[in-house]
Structure 1
């Protein structure tokens, strides 16, 4: 195994769309792949918003085991780009205000689906993952190995986002989408970016310092 430190975790924050592979009901047993947007939850696991009428939603109700593929190949060369395949089971998630608010920061257009009342949130319970980052950089990890640290709570993340957003109110085109102990997800002039910290930040004080560096680089 030769995986750069935290590379799979950062990849899950870089991409906005993934491929969900469920077990088809008809014809039974076949893989059923479909592409859809996702947002990383506080533990970096994909959270999806799906219609109750969608075929993949029916498949998940019958068998929640699934694969989820995320790829980052900005130059179009998939074999040289990064990709990670997640294996686990998807579980329905209550649409609490915190879950909805966080998802809509990543996908604001999804609000039109939420008002229909037909869409539900699901998050993957991760069992294993395989990361490939180019020749010689690949390997398997257990689900718990993705991030051994306790995640930020919704309240902690929201407080940091509000604080740093207020301090940059004049930075047009800049938006903080999410914060975790390893980096920050940003939107700059409509384009999503991942800012990776120089290491894990186990406390609020070190997070503050890392976010100050992030702000200086992106809003000056």
Structure 2
């Protein structure tokens, strides 16, 4: 995978929200931007949870073309930081698609559980058509989704089982990960909420942190080895950048 594609995927997988731009039905021909949380599905596609009464939902029902813009960091000069724009077509998830991704979404955003009692919410998948990635000044790339997004070998029940196991049996390990990563968790229990071949994801309060593995992890045996190694200080001196 090209370095720009790797960097783009890491950015997309490490952030919690982006600006969803849809084509307005109220002001025809103009894009409407909305702050939208997302997670990645088993194929690396962004999935959003949106209300039926929201303007962007009405827009997507009328015209599925949209984009999701994600910025690496808003501190300092924003133009010096990485950002990605995923140009996509949106589609509502089928019942099967919802069952595969809902558990992951609610681990990342547990407060979303209450949304279903207030309004009709539904999951939509963004199917990327083209990706624009800027890694900083002069680092500008057009990328193909097939070359950028990565399938998650743990997607679905395997990811859920791994999270339950770590949260129930290895809380001390999760706290050590935070200590080594300089993640403040005073008064909070870090929770593992996600996993893919490149990283695991810890939620502390409302913030989700991506902790990159030192090597690709594709099997449960390799995951066990990696999570044990992550309990040692020397692991964090040699791991690849998140």
TM over 0.5: yes
1:1-220 map, 5 Å:
3-4=3-4, 6-94=6-94, 96-149=98-151, 151-170=153-172, 171=175, 173-188=189-204, 190-216=206-232
Q: Which moved more, 1:139-148 or 1:58-67?
A: 139-148
SS in 1 for 2:171: coil
Distance 1:10 1:69 in 2: 14
Distance 1:121 1:216, change over 3 A: farther
- Structure 1 residue 115: Cα displacement: 2.1
Deviation track 1:128-163 (CA, whole Å, cap 9, x = no partner) reads 111112124331211111235564230111122122
- Structure 1 residue 120: Cα displacement: 0.8
Distance 1:31 1:140, change over 3 A: same
Q: Which moved more, 1:23-32 or 1:78-87?
A: 23-32
SS in 1 for 2:79: coil
Aligned length: 216
Contact 2:72 2:82 in 1 (8 A): yes
Distance 2:228 2:45 in 1: 26
Contact 2:23 2:31 in 1 (8 A): yes
More strand by proportion, 1 or 2? Answer: 1
Distance 1:174 1:76, change over 3 A: same
Q: Which runs of 5+ in 2 are unaligned?
A: 176-187, 234-242
- Structure 1 residue 210: Cα displacement: 2.5
SS in 2 for 1:6: helix
Deviation track 1:54-103 (CA, whole Å, cap 9, x = no partner) reads 11111111111111101121524211112110011111114644432211
Q: Which runs of 5+ in 1 are unaligned?
A: none
SS in 1 for 2:78: coil
- Structure 1 residue 110: Cα displacement: 1.0
Q: Which moved more, 1:186-195 or 1:108-117?
A: 186-195
Contact 2:38 2:49 in 1 (8 A): yes
- Structure 1 residue 200: Cα displacement: 2.6
More helix by proportion, 1 or 2? Answer: 2
TM-score (norm 2): 0.79
